Each structure stands twice: as structure tokens, then as C-alpha cells.
Structure 1
Amino acid sequence: MNLTGAGKIALILLIAGALGAGYYYFGPNPHPVFNEKTINTTAPEGGPAGETTSTTASNDNTAGSESSSEATASEAGPFSYTAPEPVDGKLKGVVELGATGFNSFVVNIDKDKNWKLEKAEFGNSMVIENMATDYDIRVGLKKYIGNMLDYGVSGKDVHFVVSSGAQKAPITQKIIKVLKDMGYMVNTVTPEQEGTLGLKCALPPSYTNKGFFVDIGSGNTKIAWTASGEVKSLETYGAKYYEAGTNADAVYEEAGAKAKQIPTSKREICFIIGGTPFDLAKEHRNGKERYTVLKAPEAYKMEKAKTKAGGNIYKAIADATGCKQFVFDWDANFTIGFLLGLK
């Protein structure tokens, strides 16, 4: 086919137009839009201007807490240790008669003393408050024990332990008497024994040579560590020292003096439990993690009297030891250490 000059020009323009259209639809986008896999690293709405958020969900645990600029070395991010699961374990129950109420735990324990908390109730003060007579105590305790039996704990595997801070309360002695009349053995412990049992529960074996244990309770604080295969346990003021009019500076000095007895080699990490650490840890717990690394004491706004007093003790121990990693264990309790000591 012979084309005129005008025809040739028209054909060239037609081909050029087709190529241009193809490039428009199928060529690279000069203004790319990120696809689904792109990670947004800008601060969320309402977040600190000019800062970036974490790109991994496991590190996004600062809701309700201070900004990251106020964090110190004490906030070291998630604690990576995973406790071994019990194999072919047995359910055992323990009830703590504490200074402010009952705490109960159902624990699965195997022959190697690996354990897992299956069920817990904290601060059941109604059990104490509604018990006026021996009959009331008996009825209340039967219902309380029944809840544990319904969960699958054998009656012979339900144990009662009285904390050292609760032993002076008159109602506690009445409860002990009724429990004994019902055929249950009631175990009382000293503050030093509490510290030993708490360490046995909360301090993982792999951290024995570099860590220590602290339990900041209402009535007293327990500090414990191992030395030459033995547990050394000390007692100092509890978080309710202000009720007796005790000076905060005096508490700080004594708690610090006790903590300075911990060998330097054992100060790398502290496993901590108790009411005040609980209040602090819940401010930035990541989901249902078992271990929450606390921030430095100064990083928290402590407004309640008990929390502020417990924070004073926490700060005294942190300052005295220089420890930068305090790990709160959401499952540990000294009474579980008691169960671990049973044959």
C-alpha cells in the first residue's frame, strides 16, 4: 500500500499516540502510593509532635505513661524470659490470709517444680469483712474453699498460709481457729520466710547468680538473694508506714541500708512483686504479658498515699543497689513458693 505524505504523517502520529497511552497506563507511577506492607513511622494523632512510634507491636506499651523522653535505663523494654511449662502437673490451691484480705491461687505444678498459675483471686476483703462470728467464718470459708474445689483442686491439696503482716490482726486468729476445726492446717510464716518463699517462686534459676528479689507489701518489705547456696532474706518497712507517722526519710535510709547488703554481683536484675509494683506495672503492661519491666521510680506520678510510700521504698532500693532492671512478675506470690516446697 502506497501512502501519501500526509498519510505517512497521520500513521506516525497514530503509533506515537498508542505508545503514549500504553506508557500512561502501564508505565511506572511518578507519584507512588505505599502499599499495605509499608510501616507508618509517624506519631499517631495526639502523640508527641516530631516523635516516632515503635514499628513493632510488642514495644508499643507506653499508653498512660510518661513520654519516652522521660524513660531511663530502668525501662529496658519487654523482658524476653519465658518460664517453662509444667508437664503432667497437678493442681494445687493456696489461700493467703493477708493484711488486707484473702488472695487465692490455683497452680499447676509438675515433679520438676515447673509451675503455671491457672486461677487467681486478689484482695477478697469481703471474706474477712462479713465474718463476725465463728459460724459466719465457717460458712464464708466453705464457700471460698468450694470455689477452688469446683475448679478441680483436691481437698487435701488446698493450703492456707498467713502472711507475716496479718498475724497480729484479731480476725486472723479467729479464722485460723475455725480452719483448724475444719481440719485444715494453717501455716504461719515470718517475714524472712516470706522473702525466701517469694524468691523461690519469682527468681528464675537462670538468674540466681545475677539477680535478687523484692516484695513491697503493706506491712513490710522483703529483700532476698542467694549466697553460697543459701537464701538471705531481710525485712524493712512496708508501704503503709505512713499510717504510723513514720518519717519517709527514715524509711528511705533503712530500706537503702538493707538493700546495700546485696552482693554487687547480684544487682544486675531484680524480680519484684507487691502492691505498689502492681500499681506501677499496670500503667504500661503490654497485653497479658507475664513480666513487665518497671520504669525508674522518678518516671511515675504517684499520687495515692500508699503508692507514694511504696515508691519511696522502691527508689531507696534502686538508688542503693544501682540496679537498672526491675521486673514485675504478674503471677508470682510467696504462697506459690510455699507450694513449690511441698513434696
Structure 2
Amino acid sequence: MNQENSRKDFPDFFSERGELPITVTPVHFGNSIYWMSSLVSKDVDNSVNNSHLKPYDDNDVDLVNCEDMDEHYDITLTKSGKFTTSFYVPSSLLAYIIGAKAVRLKNLERTTNTQIKVPKPNEKGNVTITGDTERKVASARTQISIIVTQRKDKLPISHFVSIPVSSNEIRMKLNEFKTVVLKDPSRGVAESLFQNPEKLHLTISTLTLVDEEEISTAKEVLQNCYKDCISKLFKKENRYRIHLKGLEIMNDDPSSVNVLYCNVFMDKNDENEKLQTISDTIAEYYSKSGLAKKQYDRVKLHVTLMNTSFRHPEERQESFDAVDILKKFKDFYFGSVDFQNIHLSIRFTGKGKYYEAESIVNITN
């Protein structure tokens, strides 16, 4: 091989000393702006932005919606003239930032031209990023947030914010509904599809909390949301009722359904609006905290009655035909329940009763 040609083709910044040449480009996602840093060579043609190195890649093929990234954080200017930001990452996820022999961490520092300090294995603490500019610090933080989000997406949901909607009347009506449906079941319908009457609820937000620090933060977020919003819309001295009526499905084909749910409403139209408002606000608070992904602009208020995900492992996993169910029960009234509290519920708990809670905020006295 010609040594001169091979040396010329090799990027200069691997042999040169001094600060690496960095190009920082703003990338727009919705209403947010994130910063992408890339290395460039001095001999690059000014008219063409050729990159000698591939963009940072963690070998993940899953795409992350950058709107899910935490954008509500501070970047401060230190006395030394550097910019810095600090944030918590669960210790069990730090290894994905560091990588084998710290290769991934060094790559992040090089591509963003920042210094990144992470706690030692099995130690709690904050990840701290320091750089010459806010853009470089923001770029590093965004890339770390993407790594953490991708890893958490692969973990099961552990908690969810819920409103319990089980009453004697509703449990009785649900059992009546279940008996009629199972008497002459359509394709794919089985007893295992029905929600436990004791666990009927509205889901406001789903969470994957990996340690006590995140659980503590999640509890604090719910309390803050109650203080800032919920308590102002629902006064404790009043009584509020949630009603369950009418069936709908999550897809367009009633002959092939995975989720069948009941609609919810309250006594007054303005109470319906308030319920929607607090649900959207709770979801927004958790999204801004970085503990949950923002899935929709508005929370879909519903109570799941039948779900194919409830099937037993030994059962055939398939959809079910809900055509006849919708015809018979389209406007069926399942009853009402007092709107008393909102829970930070623990998934897969409360055998034979409602889910155990990490935290509860009371709506009424």
C-alpha cells in the first residue's frame, strides 16, 4: 500500500494536537431545539460537509422521539468560564453510558468536546457535563438522555398513575356483562380477557422506575401536580362522581379487537373538562420530569374492560370478535363511583384487591 496515500486518507485530527474541530448544528423537533455536534477535517471542501467519522451509534436500531427528551434543565456558567449541567441517572443504567473499558464515554466526550463525570459503579450521584459552550453541553446531555431512554424502553412498566373506579354497583354490572358475553362467546373471547372488577381504573401515565430515587421523584411529581393544579380544580369539600357508560374499541375493525373499553364522564360538563385537564397535566408533569414519555397531546380517558394482554401464557394469543358485544352493550351503563383519589400504583400488586400504591393524593375529604 502506498504510505503517502494511506496517510493522506487518514483524518488529520487523529495525529494533530490541540482542540478538535467541531461543527454544532441546531436540529428542530417540534417546538424544541437540540444540538448535533460532529467532527470535521481541515481539508474538507467548504461546499460539502463530509464527515470522516460516522455519527455516534450505540448499535440501537430503535428510534427515539426527541420530544421525549428532558428540555427543562439548567446549564450554569461556572467561575472558571465553563458551562455545566448535572442530572441523575440510575446506577443500573450508568454502564450503558460508560461502555466497555469506558470507550463509549470517551467517544461521547470526544464527539461533543465536553468532560463528562459519572458516579462509580453501584454508587448514587449525578452525571455532570462540563464544556466551553452551552451548545456542547446540551448536545452531550441529549445524547446521554437518548441512551438512557432507549435502555429504559426495553424495561417493563413498573408503575402507573391511576384513578380507581371500582364500586359495588360497577362490579355487579361488570359481572352481569361478563356473564352474558361468556354465555355465547364470539371468536377469541375467553374469561381471562376480562379485567378484575377490583382493579378497574383510568390510566393517566405509565412509568418505568428503576430505583428508589426515581420512585421518590415520582411521588414528589404527583404531590407537586396536586398542589399546583388538581387542588385548584377539585375542591375537597365537594363530592364528585365518575360514570361508566358505552363501549368502544382501540382499533377500527370490531371483528378483530385487542382492547375493549368503557367511556367515562362526570355529572357536569365543566367537571369533564376538569378531569381531562388534570389528566393531561399529570402526564405533562411526568414527561417534563423525564420519568415518562409524552405519548399524546391529550390523555384518552377510558376504563379497559377486556384486553388480549390478559390472556394466560398457555392460551393462544389472538384478537377477539367484538361485533356482537358492541351491538348488545354499545350504550350499556356500568354505574358510577365517587372520585376520591389518584394513585401512583405499583403494577402486578394487590392480589384480589386494588393495586398497592407508592403515593395517594386525596380529591375529597
TM-score by length of 1: 0.24
Pair member with larger Rg: 1
